[in-house]
Amino acid sequence: MANKAAPALNKQDIAILQTLAPGTVVDLQIDTPTAPQRLKTFYVGMDIPNGFIFQVPNSHKWANIRDQLVTGNSVVVRFVIEGEFGQVIAFKVDILKCFSKPISILITDFPSTIQSRGLRAEKRSQPGIPVSVLIDEGQAASDKSKIKGLIVDVSKKGCKLAITKESEAVALSVNKNITLGCKLDGETIKIEALVKNITEDKRYRYHGIQFSDEQGSVDVLLERHILLG
């Protein structure tokens, strides 16, 4: 690869990227004419400060987006660093080349910035975004009316909400209206939602949550917590 200017990453950022071992599963997000697609693949290697190499699997899902794997298009790369608290790392890079022969690989340039976010609210706890849950908008917003929970998966349409059985003073039920509160920079954003389904394990109840339509607070949550969009 041709040399280019060194990326504007500090030593810590470079060290984070160097934790990626060949064969690590990564998440690649590729824009398509209809909607962004997120696919799993394997990291092959990097050439600092020139670029990254990823495997392109010979699968149906990848065949559908191969037309987008062209020079000039960009991809968002995400991977997880395990540890006591866990970190999700994300960065956006431009595609340099996609080869199908003799092996199927994707080559990108090197990022100038990376983003990171802790996965876990506390050591060895359930990973997620801490939220307060207010049951029914009509209830008084007192401490007793709130439950603490964790968003463990989220999209523009809804999320998966985990609540410990010990902290759930009032059990949520299907078709119950709730308000989620999440603190960002000292301010609380609120999201109106509906409980759609409930499952559980020994410690947590997991609630499938549907967000009400057209809420700017959802976009704020995604922008701040789901790295690089």
Q: Are residues 56 and 151 in the same domain?
A: no
pLDDT reported for residue 197 = 92
Q: Are residues 221 and 194 in the same domain?
A: yes
pLDDT by 10s per residue, the chain, length 229: 444 444 578 888 998 899 888 998 899 999 888 888 889 999 999 999 999 999 999 888 898 899 999 998 999 999 877 654 457 889 999 999 999 889 999 999 999 999 887 654 443 334 578 899 988 645 444 444 678 888 887 877 888 898 888 765 566 888 989 999 988 767 788 999 999 998 887 788 889 999 998 788 887 877 666 554 5
Q: Are residues 208 and 171 in the same domain?
A: yes
**Structural domain includes residue 123:** no
Q: Are residues 19 and 113 in the same domain?
A: yes
Q: Are residues 104 and 144 in the same domain?
A: no
Q: Are residues 44 and 72 in the same domain?
A: yes
pLDDT reported for residue 106 = 97
Burial of 84 (0-12, 13-18, 19+ CB in 10 A): exposed
Report strand pairing: 105-108 vs 51-55.
antiparallel
**Structural domain includes residue 2:** no
Kindly state the DSSP code that residue 176 receives in the 8-state scheme: -
Q: Are residues 159 and 211 in the same domain?
A: yes
pLDDT reported for residue 124 = 37
Q: Which residue has the tokens 């149906």?
A: 60
**Structural domain includes residue 4:** no
Residue 204 neighbours by CB under 8 Å, 6+ apart: 126, 162, 163, 164, 165
pLDDT reported for residue 28 = 94
pTM over cut 0.75: no
Convert 165-188 to b/e letters by CB count within 10 Å (16 or more is b): eeeeeeebeeebebbbbbeeeeee
Number of domains present in the structure of the chain: 2
Q: Which residue has the tokens 């985990």?
A: 162
**Rounded to an integer, what distance in angstroms lies between the CA atom of residue 225 and that of residue 229?**
9
Q: Are residues 114 and 32 in the same domain?
A: yes
**Rounded to an integer, what distance in angstroms lies between the CA atom of residue 24 and that of residue 225?**
23
**Structural domain includes residue 151:** yes
Parent domain of 160: 129-225
**Structural domain includes residue 51:** yes
Q: Are residues 150 and 181 in the same domain?
A: yes
Q: Which of 97, 118, 139 is the C-terminal boundary of a domain?
A: 118
**Structural domain includes residue 211:** yes
What CATH number is given to the structural domain containing 76? Answer: 2.30.110.10
Q: Are residues 101 and 148 in the same domain?
A: no
**Structural domain includes residue 71:** yes
**Structural domain includes residue 5:** no
Kindly state the DSSP code that residue 215 receives in the 8-state scheme: -
DSSP secondary structure letters along 86-153? -EEEEEEEEEEEEE-SSS-EEEE---S--EEEE-BSSTTS-BSEEEEEEESTTS--SGGGEEEEEEEE
pLDDT reported for residue 216 = 85
What CATH number is given to the structural domain containing 172? Answer: 2.40.10.220
Q: Are residues 29 and 108 in the same domain?
A: yes
Q: Which of 92, 118, 144 is the C-terminal boundary of a domain?
A: 118
pLDDT reported for residue 136 = 67
Q: Are residues 82 and 146 in the same domain?
A: no
Q: Which of 57, 91, 118 is the C-terminal boundary of a domain?
A: 118
Give the closest residue to 181 by CA, choosing from 217, 223, 144, 213: 217
